[in-house]
Homo-oligomer: A and B are copies of this chain.
Amino acid sequence: MIDNICDCDVIHQDVVDYVSERMPQNDEFYALANLYKMFADSTRIKILWALSCKDMCVCDLAALLGMTKSAISHQLKSLRLSNLVRPDRQGKIVFYSLADDHVKEIFIKGFEHTHHQ
């Protein structure tokens, strides 16, 4: 049974039970939401898209998107912490690349959706 914090009676107990039994853990939903949060900002998607095209350094990304190095760097940090991009220092310059192909697939699925309606 489910805690009745809600402000109504269950209408279809069978449906609620059926879905409730199959629900993934709370943590899984939080993890998934956090993953999608990374794609939920246009600056971050642009960065991911650009990196899916070519590996790039912070300065080039800043120039490409018309933003400051700082702003880009902050977003790259979020993406790094979410394991979506990987840094590769070569002297003074840090090149960033997508962490894996899964990342690319995810936003391709998204583009498909936005185009298909």
Contacts and interface: CB of A to CB of B under 8 A. Distances in A.
Q: How many copies does the complex hold?
A: 2
A18 B117 CA distance: 29
Contacts of A60: 10-12, 15-16
Contact of A2 (B31, B41, B63): B63
Nearest to A1: B63
Interface string A77-112: 000000100000000010000000011011101111
A50 B93 contact: no
Nearest to A33: B42
Interface string A7-26: 11111100110111011101
A70 to B, nearest CB: 8
Contacts of A114: 28, 31-32, 35
Given A50-B23, A110-B106, A40 B42 contact: no
